[in-house]
Chain A
Amino acid sequence: MEKVIQIDHLFKSYGDVKAVSDLSFVVKKGELFAFLGVNGAGKSTTISMICGQLAKDSGSITVLGRDVEKEFDAVSRKIGVVFQNSVLDRKLTVKENLRSRGALYGITGRAFEKRLGELSKVLDFESFLNRPLDKLSGGQRRRVDIARALLHEPEILILDEPTTGLDPQTRRILWNVIEKERLERSLTVFLTTHYMEEASDADYIIILESGKIAAEGTPLYLKNKYAGDYVTIYGCGEDKIKDLGVSYTKIRDGVKIKVSDTSEVTDLILKHPDLFKDYEVTKGRMDDVFLEVTGKALEGGAAQ
């Protein structure tokens, strides 16, 4: 698969603080790439460098085969960015905002009206096109932010915590649109989020800690390596489980046993078939992976 972002030995410091330290990774075309870490881990610094907003100390950043610092003009046409906080003009209407931003990419006149029509339909903001941004709810503003980032049909969409604080319905709309763009145009999505269920859907995940990669891989690989599996046995008495000599958690309808992998479950089933009448095997969650890797939980916008 084509490499759309390649970062090699990237360093960035603020005084004595190493925000990014020897970071190297590759994002492939069409991937949903999740970039996780607690606040201050270096996510936003890395994004700012990819978007050409911040100068690196050393290393290299290549986007679609072009050096970001040397060929930013060409790179910028291929990137769409949804910032952590909306950066559109609050006093202007949705249409005025998108018109002024579209013009930055040379999208004006009929081309703009056509693209506006498409985006307002899929992101469902036709009804408030002529309303000023400061009269919109957070969810409505976020939809306009996504539209702004997609105006010029970028090949890479960078989402910096796009759904923080949004209601489930708006989150669903946003993800449906992004999924559609990925399927239809092979859009590559570079995501930072505090919602682990969003990261679970990623093709590849990097967990950043103190500017360095603490763990990386596919969700399956990370779950297998750091979270283990669970087997839940329903309708089974606790006394029988005690005899197995494994650690378990009592739940309302049965017990939940933590196992290292599915082969351990297979062994248990073969040894104690009488216990496994009604059971399910589940993978560990990304929350468990994150907790295991960083020692910190990450939920709803705050590290704990």
Chain B
Amino acid sequence: MTLMNVVRRNLKMFFKDKGLFISSLLSPMILLVLYATFLANVYKESFTDALPEEFHVSDALMNGTVASQLIFSLMAVSCVTVAFCSNLLMIGDKASGAIGDFTVSPVKRSVIAAGYYIASAASTLIVTFTALAAGLLYLSTQGWFMSFTDVLLVIGDVFLLTLFGTALSSCIHFFLSTNGQASAVGTIISAGYGFLCGAYMPISTFGKGLQNVLMFLPSTYATSLLKNHIMDGLFREMETAGFPQEAITGIRDSVDCNIYFFGTRVPTWVMAVILIGSVVLFTGLFVLLHVLSKGHMRKK
């Protein structure tokens, strides 16, 4: 009951800040337009160059492949960066002193933490699912090869990835106390996360040393999971179109649908387990940080 009320209050606070909500909602749409405008041709040329000359590829398959790459890039990045942008209430409460009003009450620290987490995840999910809907709509205009199951799996991936972004941003924002600090962190994450998770450029194109390091980050597997589920239909279509298995494997490797942990290919179910595990780990850590900060008191 208390948790529900805390969540309700946090959601109200988020939606009262219309500027924050609209900018969170618009940023993935703007990214989609920018990607389609500036990156589509680059992806298209890169895909065409990689194919043997004797291969004829339908426009739908070609455009669908390019659009899929744009959409998994967009979603892999947005689920995390939008979470960083919308998960600001905890910091706002520190700045305004409202957090003191909660901590003088008998409400448990874990409830306060869960309240922030659930409200932030809910508001971020609204934005990421809207972006996903726009992305799938765009994909349908370019070349649609996804099955109903693929769509459900992608929805599941976006859900998990959003929870991951919310949990990660919650843990980092826990240590911040001003909106300026949050803005600086948000900028760094927005600039760097796309590269680190393999959304902007496939990890397979990085140096071996960097690849090995990135294999220890959950974001690598989260992005790959999303890529697999968005592109599976395309690979099935390529098989039907007569692409040799080696060529398909080559494409899968080149776009990180296949991830190799020190030479061993990681199955998608393991990727899902890693993502779910990361969500549980970071969410647990965030709640634990709140509970431990109880002591319950500040030292200064």
Contacts and interface: CB of A to CB of B under 8 A. Distances in A.
Interface residues of A, number: 33
A108 B5 contact: yes
B296 A72 contact: yes
A100 B104 contact: no
A88 B101 contact: yes
Interface string B79-110: 00000000000000000111011111111000
A100 B5 contact: yes
B8 interface: yes
Nearest to A132: B16
B229 to A, nearest CB: 39
A51 interface: yes
A243 interface: no
Contacts of A130: none
Contacts of A100: 5-6, 8-9
A192 B164 CA distance: 45
Interface in A226-250: none
Contacts of B8: 100
Given A52-B296, A53-B297, A85-B97, A104 B102 contact: yes
B12 A96 contact: yes
Nearest to A109: B1
Interface in B259-300: 295-300
Given A100-B8, A106-B1, A52 B295 contact: no
Interface in B1-42: 1-2, 5-6, 8-9, 12-13, 16-17
A90 B101 CA distance: 13
A81 interface: yes
B9 A89 contact: yes
A49 B296 CA distance: 11
Contacts of A214: none
Nearest to B99: A87
Nearest to B98: A87
Contact of A105 (B16, B100, B105): B105
Nearest to B111: A104
A90 B13 CA distance: 9
Q: How large is the interface on B (under 10, 10 to 19, 20 to 34, 35 or more residues)?
A: 20 to 34
Contact of B104 (A14, A52, A108): A52
A106 B106 CA distance: 9
A198 interface: no
A174 B295 CA distance: 34
A101 interface: yes
Nearest to A151: B105
A104 B105 contact: yes
Given A52-B296, A87-B100, A100-B6, A92 B13 contact: yes
A55 B295 contact: yes
A79 interface: yes
B2 A79 contact: no
B106 A54 contact: no
A17 to B, nearest CB: 11
B296 A91 contact: no
A14 B104 CA distance: 22
B103 A92 contact: no
A103 B1 contact: yes
A20 B50 CA distance: 73
A53 B106 contact: no
B101 A83 contact: yes
Interface in B44-102: 96-98, 100-102
A167 interface: no
Contacts of B16: 91-92
Interface in A46-70: 49, 51-55, 69
A14 B300 contact: yes
B299 to A, nearest CB: 5
Contacts of B96: 87, 89-90
Given A52-B297, A72-B296, A87 B2 contact: no
A52 B294 CA distance: 9
A87 B13 contact: no
A90 B93 CA distance: 11
Contacts of A108: 1, 5
Contacts of B5: 99-100, 103-104, 108
Per CB-CB distance, the 8 closest pairs between chain A and chain B, nearest first, are A103-B5, A100-B9, A104-B105, A91-B16, A87-B97, A55-B297, A87-B101, A76-B106
Given A76-B105, A81-B104, A100-B5, 17 more contacts: A52-B296, A53-B104, A54-B298, A54-B299, A55-B297, A55-B298, A76-B106, A81-B101, A87-B98, A87-B100, A89-B13, A89-B98, A91-B17, A100-B6, A105-B105, A106-B2, A148-B101
Interface of A: 14, 49, 51-55, 69, 72-74, 76-77, 79, 81, 83, 85, 87-92, 96, 99-101, 103-106, 108, 148
Interface of B: 1-2, 5-6, 8-9, 12-13, 16-17, 96-98, 100-107, 295-300
7 contacts: A52-B104, A53-B103, A54-B298, A72-B296, A83-B97, A99-B5, A100-B9
